[in-house]
Structure 1
Amino acid sequence: MAGRPSKDLSRYKEEILQLVNRGYTYESITHHLADQHHVQVADRTLRRQCSIWGVQKHRKPVDSPQLRARIATLFNESSLQDPDILRVLEREGYSIGARTLRRIRRRMGLYQRASPGEELEVRFMWRYA
């Protein structure tokens, strides 16, 4: 039984390696490939190809003033919740996980609170939506 044909990313190897070395996430690299080269590739495929090329990318969250400013902007001005903030930060090339975001946000004094009435609305929406 033959599987799917494999994606040949070798022609983009140098560009991908440069993006990896600059700290871009696999998700942001896949978006870049789709936008710039019209190549649709899954994050997992990109990870596998990078490991074949000998590239090991470890997520090292960087707590910088720029990151903190961006988190504050997304939290205060855009009123985004953590999952949405994470998606925006990933697309912008930040390498940060949910726990790290929550830790940084709390250290900045930014707490996500809901009144009891709002909490009931959220539960109702999820249960009956």
Structure 2
Amino acid sequence: MTKNDNILVAKGIIKQSGEVNKDKVNLVAGAITQPFAEMVWLITGGDMETVNRLTDILVTMNTPADRGKLFKIIKLLYGLMGLPFSEEAEPMNSDPDVLDYFIFSFTADFGEIIKDYIAEAE
């Protein structure tokens, strides 16, 4: 087990069995996606062209080859928006399976939150 695996196990992100704790990953992703989506909505003024471009990046870069880069882009966007990136989410890019599920959860939550904003705006 690597040092990063030990951190993921200690944080409950990977179970002792080595399986990804999807409930924990969902919880962390959900907690950080809400302020992210809110800032995206506010900064863009609800401009759907921009929101759709961002969503397209989240979806098309969610590949094994690009997932690590996508994680870095998400962290960069947090910084640009003046949002702190979660210490709990920080180590999620150290394991491919954890990162895969984290990005999946983050993107799904982002889509749901944006749908809610669209519905409120109508």
Q: TM-score, normalised by structure 2?
A: 0.29
Q: Which has the higher contact order (CA 8 A, sep 6+)?
A: 2
Q: TM-score, normalised by structure 1?
A: 0.28
Q: Which has the larger share of helix? A: 2
